Amino acid sequence: MHLNPYGEYAVLRAASLANDWPADRAGIVARTRERGMTMDFRVEPDDHRRTRRVLDGWLAVVDAADPPRRAELLNAQMAAVAAYPRLTDHDGEGWHLHYRDDGRPLPDVLAAVISVGTALHLTTRGMHRLGRCAAGQDAGAPCTAVVVDVTRNGRQRYCSVRCANRAAVRRHRSRAALVDARG
């Protein structure tokens, strides 16, 4: 796969898996295909469950209270799964870097790709550019989706246009209610 300079594909792939968790291994593989990975992996019986554990570890990074904690968690994850960078040219992708040893099973590959990709994304775009949808803080419309902010201005707060629109409607209603109350 291409780990582009900003780690964007990898971190978006992690968010896609976290926000819409596939029911089986084939679903996980299909998602990696949609998001740029071309490799085949040998099937291991625990792939689905172990990939879920990788995602749960990544969600702790998403929910970290501050940048030092976020860095600490990511450093531990990279230490556990990533290897020294290695140039590779598999499946006609062209030369690119892998931060893992060859021949690893699917969950280990995703753990390496997601942790290194997230580290690249945060260090190049900003340590705050990962979190939960701001609609989760609104009473009555909870949304816990992960937001990966890859926007130019770095101000993406909602996971979707839908959540942003619903929040705008609520703000409008609460302003209107305030005006009513004042008579």
Interacting residues toward Zn ion by CB under 5 A: 1, 133, 135, 143, 145, 159, 163
Nearest to Zn ion of 60, 138 (CB atom): 138
Q: Closest separation between CB of residue 147 and Zn ion, Å? A: 8
Q: Closest separation between CB of residue 96 and Zn ion, Å? A: 6
Cβ partners under 8 Å of residue 53, min gap 6: 107
Which helix H or strand E contains 87, and what residues bound it?
strand 86-88
Nearest to Zn ion of 14, 143 (CB atom): 143
Return d(Cα 117, Cα 63) in angstroms, integer.
17
Q: Closest separation between CB of residue 51 and Zn ion, Å? A: 18
Nearest to Zn ion of 45, 103 (CB atom): 103
Nearest to Zn ion of 3, 61 (CB atom): 3
Cβ partners under 8 Å of residue 87, min gap 6: 95, 96, 97
> Could you count the other beta carbons within 10 Å of the beta carbon of residue 145?
16
Q: Closest separation between CB of residue 5 and Zn ion, Å? A: 15
